[in-house]
Structure 1
């Protein structure tokens, strides 16, 4: 009897130790927004944007478009996953959301949920398309008919070209977007990540892509990277994707070490592109990227807001 009780106690102790180890490991793998602030600072500007707080504007030049410039799609267990050629791509394409300002260009709003790519997907006869998901919008809302991204925020390719490594060379001319969108429907495929208690939009169905491309679509294995960065090699995507704690337990506001004043930031067309991808495709020259990327037109409402803000600043200084 004593031996049996002793065995049960040992077994319970082992279970407790394993559980405690997992909890400690999870805590150690957690980061705060400070990691985003520190890791992205060399590649762009942190600004205090009125609507969102601290946002990041990459030094990618006026032709930069998220989920379009310098990267491509691969299929993983989580769905279609964006693999960026930028050193910093592990963060802004897998956490948070992107928004567009007519003066400053594209900017990134941090968030704590990891995903294969925070985009909406559409399909039409012979086409697939995607667009950055708006900040603060859940994926269930994006499935509703009332939710619409601007037509000029979408990227479309022929469905046979979705898995191309040099996908930027296959973008459909933007003049065809209105026609394609009118005849398209939302792709509502999702993947539920039980480990992170998060649901992702997984994009086009694997079998549909296989039929369209005529090629086998082999999923890429996602492996944890211990340091910031990502690397795709031999059918494995090693990527840094820690749990992010969006609460500050120290009661001290976490901020970027260097914040640029919005008034001092130049218009996107005037800012230099000092942020080159680490793995530039041989055929993906600057000239070709520029010819394939299409900048959204100015948004008169946001432009007027910027002018009003500038006028208020002038009056305040007087």
Structure 2
């Protein structure tokens, strides 16, 4: 018996030691997985940084090219036939850079100059009274959005939804919300929004509204017209509506049911509610406070019913008869009369309801090249944006995949459509209008000063692009890449360097021979007495530019060296920290043994 009890400690130790080893192995496996995940995240961050550097180079190259093209309109008067798609010609195309290499080159539309010294109300009045060329109404694309809405807000670029528009009203009133300045009517196409805002003909009947977490409400352009793009909720006391999510933008069939809130994770922040008895009245003064929206949503049900009828979008929601029985003043159903002519355009800022017929300006804007059109002025690039959603914070995977595929098809269609005669004609007319507006805005500007300004702009863009490419190359050298990844990064950088060389050569050629072109004032028009002074000024200007370029190059080199030193110090610090951590773990294991 004593021998048996003496064996118990040995048996206990033999059972416990393997379990300790398993625990250590488990901890080591988790640590290894965590390190692999950190390395993967670090790799993705570095790849994103490299792509950002190349994208910045692409943007700066576009600025330089734009300045060079503006410098001599006669040479760039017909770019559409020679290389609209950039595939067959050897012309420089800034759209080839970066991860968006397959996206067709954007065509910038013109914008009418704002009146000087006018108040906001006077500017709006001028904008509403202005007419546009017939070609703008006949192009059938998003040019009319970009030309019109820039008068009432700003355009931004986003990674997720392309170009988006934000009204100036949001800056004046932070509580501003879409679908609140106007009233509802019922038509043969369902519930129809009658906006009181001058831009309402576009942003409440085309496209989608989306609430960004950091930037507020923005509008994403769309191709199809509807009486309203909203989902509906209803209770015995309240009626509410919310803008449809942007993931519904490119659906081939608009067929939405009461499950739309859950499917697309629509946030309560999107909804507006009014008491039922005030539903037909101007809604702004009857919208419930935002603090009570959550409580109301809990006690309402979704009654959205979108469908297609006779090739038109039907916005179904609350039952028309039920609404008429609960409002103070029942209304009659009207019939929509859609128009695209100049007469309708002149009255686009308000709806005309005459004898139960509702006349609305609704041009066709579904051209297949819409993805290749962009606004003339973009306030800034917002990059990847965060969307305000409900509890899940994401939509269903199949819906997200469907939206992504539709976006890809949209860009492919734009690429194919760029070569069509109707697209060429529409964009050529647009370019001519843009040049006319620029010439009118410039007036009698001195040609020499104009040339110097554009050349300086091109040189600045070229210097910035060169610095961006150099930074991208340094980043690639510092990274630990696989052979295939390094080759792909090298290919992108070499392509950027080739395009830099093309722009640099073009700039040098124009600088050397551009002073004596017909129609320009050159040195031959300067008197003999003034020539020495002019030549001295030119030499002084060239010396200043050379000195500025040298200083910028030295500054860029200094920043690069400082960045490399900082990164080296950071790597050294991490290595020392890991070494100390490893020594501490070994000491801890030794103490346990």
Aligned pair count reads: 240
Sort the Cα spacing of 1:46 and 1:30 in 2 relative to 1 into closer, same or farther, 3 A: same
Q: Provide the C-alpha distance between the structure 2 equivalents of 1:184 and 1:116, rounded to a whole number of angstroms.
A: 23
Q: How does 1:276-295 map to 2 (within 5 A)?
A: none
Question: Which position in structure 1 is the counterpart of 2:381?
Answer: 262
Q: TM-score, normalised by structure 2?
A: 0.37
SS state at 1:209 partner = helix
Question: Which position in structure 1 is the counterpart of 2:179?
Answer: 67
Return the offset for 1:86.
Answer: 1.5
Return the offset for 1:243.
Answer: 2.3
Asked if the contact 1:189–1:202 (Cα under 8 Å) also holds between the matched residues in 2, the reply is yes
Asked if the contact 1:79–1:191 (Cα under 8 Å) also holds between the matched residues in 2, the reply is no
Q: Provide the C-alpha distance between the structure 2 equivalents of 1:41 and 1:47, rounded to a whole number of angstroms.
A: 11
Return the offset for 1:232.
Answer: 2.7
Asked if the contact 2:257–2:305 (Cα under 8 Å) also holds between the matched residues in 1, the reply is no
Residue range with higher mean Cα deviation, 166-175 or 45-54: 166-175
- Among 189, 192, 195, the residue aligned to 1:84: 195
Question: Which position in structure 1 is the counterpart of 2:352?
Answer: 232
- Among 152, 159, 173, the residue aligned to 1:50: 159
Return the offset for 1:108.
Answer: 0.5
Q: Provide the C-alpha distance between the structure 2 equivalents of 1:140 and 1:253, rounded to a whole number of angstroms.
A: 28
Q: Provide the C-alpha distance between the structure 2 equivalents of 1:102 and 1:124, rounded to a whole number of angstroms.
A: 29
SS state at 1:60 partner = helix
Question: Which position in structure 1 is the counterpart of 2:234?
Answer: 123
SS state at 1:177 partner = helix
Question: Which position in structure 2 is the counterpart of 1:243?
Answer: 364
User: Residue deviations 1:87-109, cap 9 Å, x none?
Assistant: 22111100000001233221110
Q: Is structure 2 residue 212 aligned with structure 1 residue 104?
A: no
Q: Provide the C-alpha distance between the structure 1 equivalents of 2:316 and 2:295, rounded to a whole number of angstroms.
A: 24
Return the offset for 1:80.
Answer: 1.3
SS state at 1:91 partner = helix
Q: Which entry has the higher C-alpha Rg, 1 or 2?
A: 2
Asked if the contact 2:335–2:358 (Cα under 8 Å) also holds between the matched residues in 1, the reply is yes
Sort the Cα spacing of 1:141 and 1:217 in 2 relative to 1 into closer, same or farther, 3 A: closer
Question: Which position in structure 2 is the counterpart of 1:168?
Answer: 284
Asked if the contact 1:111–1:246 (Cα under 8 Å) also holds between the matched residues in 2, the reply is no
SS state at 2:222 partner = coil
Asked if the contact 2:233–2:241 (Cα under 8 Å) also holds between the matched residues in 1, the reply is yes
Asked if the contact 1:49–1:55 (Cα under 8 Å) also holds between the matched residues in 2, the reply is yes
Q: Provide the C-alpha distance between the structure 2 equivalents of 1:65 and 1:40, rounded to a whole number of angstroms.
A: 17
Q: CA RMSD in A?
A: 3.0
User: Residue deviations 1:15-68, cap 9 Å, x none?
Assistant: xxxxxxxxxxxxx86610111111111111111111111111111122221101
Q: How does 1:149-164 map to 2 (within 5 A)?
A: 149-164=266-281
Return the offset for 1:192.
Answer: 2.9
Question: Which position in structure 2 is the counterpart of 1:143?
Answer: 258
Unaligned 5+ segments in structure 1 are 1-27, 264-295, 302-312
Return the offset for 1:127.
Answer: 1.1
- Among 143, 148, 157, the residue aligned to 1:39: 148
Q: TM-score, normalised by structure 1?
A: 0.67
Report which structure shows greater RCO (CA 8 Å, sep ≥6).
1
Q: Is structure 2 residue 336 aligned with structure 1 residue 222?
A: yes
Q: Which protein has the bigger strand share?
A: 1
SS state at 1:201 partner = strand
Q: Provide the C-alpha distance between the structure 2 equivalents of 1:180 and 1:121, rounded to a whole number of angstroms.
A: 13
Unaligned 5+ segments in structure 2 are 1-136, 383-387, 394-467, 473-555, 560-593
Asked if the contact 2:204–2:229 (Cα under 8 Å) also holds between the matched residues in 1, the reply is yes
Asked if the contact 1:46–1:54 (Cα under 8 Å) also holds between the matched residues in 2, the reply is yes
Return the offset for 1:170.
Answer: 1.3
Q: Which protein has the bigger helix share?
A: 2
Asked if the contact 1:189–1:205 (Cα under 8 Å) also holds between the matched residues in 2, the reply is no
Q: Provide the C-alpha distance between the structure 1 equivalents of 2:279 and 2:380, rounded to a whole number of angstroms.
A: 39
Sort the Cα spacing of 1:212 and 1:169 in 2 relative to 1 into closer, same or farther, 3 A: same
Q: How does 1:162-201 map to 2 (within 5 A)?
A: 162-164=279-281, 166-194=282-310, 197-201=311-315
Residue range with higher mean Cα deviation, 184-193 or 82-91: 184-193
